[in-house]
Amino acid sequence: MWKKLLCTVIICGVILPIQVEETTYAQDEKQTLIIEVEGDPEDVKEEIETYHPFIEIVAVYDLLFKGLAVEGKMEQLSKLGSIEQVKTFHQVQTYESLPLSKHTADVIEKKDSSQPEPYDLNTTSYTGKGVKVGVIDTGVDYNHPDLQKNYQSGYDVVDFDEEPMETTPEEGHPTSHGTHVAGIIAADGDIKGVAPDAEIYAYRALGPGGSGSTVQVLAAMEKAMEDGMDIINLSLGNNVNVPDYPTSIAVNRASELGTIVVIANGNSGPGAWTVGSPATANKSVSVGAATTAQDEPVLRDTFEEKEIPLIEAIGAPPWELDNSYQLVDMDNAEQGSSLHGKIAITKRSDIPFFEKAIQAEELGAEALIIYNSEPGPIQASVENNRQPITIPVASIQQKEGEWIQSNITQGSYYMDSAQKEVALTIAPFSSRGPVTVQWGIKPDISAPGTAIWSTVPGGYQAMNGTSMAAPHIAGAFAVLKEARPNWNNEQLIGALKTTAKPFEENGDRLNATIQGMGLLQIDAAMDTPAIIYDPQLEFGKLDRYQQEFTETVTIENKTETAQTYHFETPERKDGLIWNLPQSFTIQPNEQKEIPLKLSVNRERLEEGVHEGWLNLVQADQSYALPYIIVNQEADQPKTAGFEFYMEPFEDGKYKYQYYVTEPVKSLEVNLYHPETLLFERKLLEEGKLEEGMREGVLSKEEAGPSGYYLALITVELENGEFDQLETIVFIE
């Protein structure tokens, strides 16, 4: 009996609650595994074909990931553990999760006049003609009339065939995410993508409900590289903020092999350190989500001067309420009570969103608000096969929901529902940097990511997320690549970063770990008079009393005349002393390396992360270069990516792994009952650990009784302080 491993891959358009589907397999039922190997995968292929003839080799991977996909009966596959080069296996997993949309004409929604179309961003005459863009996602509805012309080919690493179609209702929880992403890049019909003549190749790495394993993503990347993609779009990720996670390593390798890899930064904002792999890869182009010019619904308490933004649910009527309403706790409403004329509020639970919406309708509520049961935003979907939802439904964050509930308990509580014009800025859900260990700036750039109108199976829909921002950048690269065919990838990336427009709030420029270089400007990038290569200045960590850092930037003059540049005097900050060139000249079409020196005094500068901007000026042109430096300590998570699962080839043994982002004195993992939070037992204890990935094995006796547990990971730091992280583990 095998059970599917607990693994989470987050689609960056929405945040999905994922449940593991526990499956008991018949001994004669064929299964597909992906095997990770040491050495040459072809050698392992030859050994399997020689000594295990009843096992089929589905695919061999050797570019970005070393391994094989194999198919056979469980009894046959279990014998592969005897092959010396086999490191571990990864199952092709199936999960149950919230569907993004239905695959019927019902998903066609009325387009609001304020909702932007992707092509609105492209004001040039170029359309990405002849550029190959790989979409690694949930698949693509290649029969959609707006995608048929540009869809070329693809592959499905979930089902291992050449039909990367979205998951249909007959196959499980249906998906639409990849089709939406593909439409933003290159739709060419009733709506147009950023690059409507680009060639779309689809790679289905995420199955029913929009989830999949790390290795499925790696396998899809490998296939895309074999097919010669110019650009790869990955609107997916996890919550592991480290620079050298396997998917991040693969992204860097793909970049080195000549492909531009564009990745959504994640939807776990607005806190710092929320970017996850593979957006943490230093050679990726990681994308944050900006708001778009539109109105959004809000709730206001004028007496408390409180305003709460609402995230409208998919499948519900638009939130157009414009009045004062009493808010009532639906979870504790008396039996037989009426909510007529009131707004119901409920906490997210195991009850599906659409059932909560139906309950609110039956109680006569004007609308329903669902607040999250954990920190962070959610975008609910109330689509269902039973009945259409007729009242507006929206979601809010946990803290805001609890604030409303506290007011309700004190008596009748009213709030004003209104529409607010959204200022152009970074969307609150957009994940932030920095990246741990390397103290890198992510995202690299920002693009529109709210209320983006694009294709879905059976029609069109507006969606929010960094998933929607990333394909704008992928499409922009396709346009630039057509317009400037002689530019290399470094020039294309440098041009887009150099010309991005930084966001400001109240006259102050936002930190780069929030927005990257700023909002992309395709036309400006195409005709930029200068390209600054790697303009993000990452000075690292200060450990000594007085330390001098040097970052070198390369600037290319793209004009036909010599250009003179100078840096404006940086904003004064106690403990930072800059040594910047007063003035320098670069000849036509010449590149020049410019050293930028920073002297830091540890005692005069506060501990922690320090960010700012340098301004480079050439005549009437100004270029913004962000910088980051860490003085001694940072408040980053000290551990990440804890995984615990049974080894398939080792009877009764469990493998664990986790990442430590700085040296620690000790680490301890204690298990608690997930509902009562009562202490169960200690799972793991380890002594002094260095920075990096840690892994090990526990016996069945050491792991203890099976079940789901809340794992509290506690590390003691070198300075004697403690840091903790919570996660869920499953012991079979």
| Catalytic residue numbers, as ranges | 137, 177, 467
Return the residue matching tokens 């095997």. Answer: 35
Dihedral in degrees, nearest 10, Cα atoms 267, 272, 278, 281: 150
Q: Phi and psi of 255, rounded to 5°?
A: -65, -40
CA distances from 577 to 346, 539, 629, 713, 716 (A): 53, 13, 13, 40, 34
CA distances from 665 to 685, 691, 714 (A): 11, 11, 11
Query: Which pairing describes strands 260-264 and 530-533: parallel, antiparallel, or unpaired?
Result: unpaired
CA distances from 282 to 256, 442, 466, 536, 552 (A): 11, 9, 18, 11, 16
Strand-pairing partners, residue 593, are 554
Within 336-412, strands assigned E span: 343-347, 367-371, 393-396
Within 379-515, strands assigned E span: 393-396, 413-421, 445-448, 452-456, 459-463, 504-505, 508-509
> In the structure encoding, which two tokens stand for residue 441, read together?
């700036």
CA angle 404, 409, 411 (to 5 degrees): 100
Residue 725 CB-half CA count within 13 A:
23
- Residues whose CB is less than 8 angstroms from the CB of residue 46 and which lie 6 or more positions away in sequence, other chains included: none
Dist CA 211 CA 714 (whole Å):
29
Dist CA 134 CA 125 (whole Å):
23
Evaluate whether 133 touches 478 at the Cβ level (below 8 Å): yes
Q: Phi and psi of 137, rounded to 5°?
A: -165, -145
Dist CA 706 CA 274 (whole Å):
31
3-class secondary structure per residue, 94-158: CEEECCCCCCCHHHCCCCCCCCCCHHHHCCCCCCCCCCEEEEEECCCCCCCCCCCCCEEEEEECC
